[in-house]
Amino acid sequence: DAGVIQSPRHEVTEMGQEVTLRCKPISGHNSLFWYRQTMMRGLELLIYFNNNVPIDDSGMPEDRFSAKMPNASFSTLKIQPSEPRDSAVYFCASSSPGGNSGGASYNEQFFGPGTRLTVL
């Protein structure tokens, strides 16, 4: 397996533009996570899905952020409109089945290489 795939790897955009980040989890994994990493705040969980259903989006900073998982092999994180303070590295991770029903898996999380977003 190629691991978790994210695209694009780098994104530079201007304030106010829409940004869409993409993630393909590891085949067979049923939990998917979106994280944001900044120097100031470290790694923060934004949202996670279990079986394509959003379970916890309490980490999503504001309404400008939205995430979807239309099927088991694809997820998007959208920022509209983008702002300079959204500049960060966005990671996607996936994990294999297990754990509490309706909760996230207890198995290992595997991370993608990240998307470095710069909003000017």
Confirm if 46 and 59 have CB atoms less than 8 A apart.
yes
| Smallest distance from another protein to CB 57, Å | 11
H helix count then E strand count, the chain? 0, 11
Which CB sits closer to another protein, 81 or 99?
99
Which positions ≥6 away from 62 have C-beta within 8 Å?
Answer: none
Which positions ≥6 away from 25 have C-beta within 8 Å?
Answer: 4, 32, 72, 73, 75, 92, 94
Rule CB under 8 A: which residues touch another protein? Answer: 33, 42-45, 48, 50, 55-56, 58-59, 91, 93, 99-100, 102-104, 106-114
Which CB sits closer to another protein, 10 or 85?
10
| Smallest distance from another protein to CB 81, Å | 27
| Smallest distance from another protein to CB 1, Å | 14
| Smallest distance from another protein to CB 115, Å | 10
Which CB sits closer to another protein, 70 or 102?
102
- In the block, residue with structure tokens 């993409």: 22
Which CB sits closer to another protein, 9 or 85?
9
Q: How far apart are alpha carbons 109 and 59 in whole angstroms?
A: 18
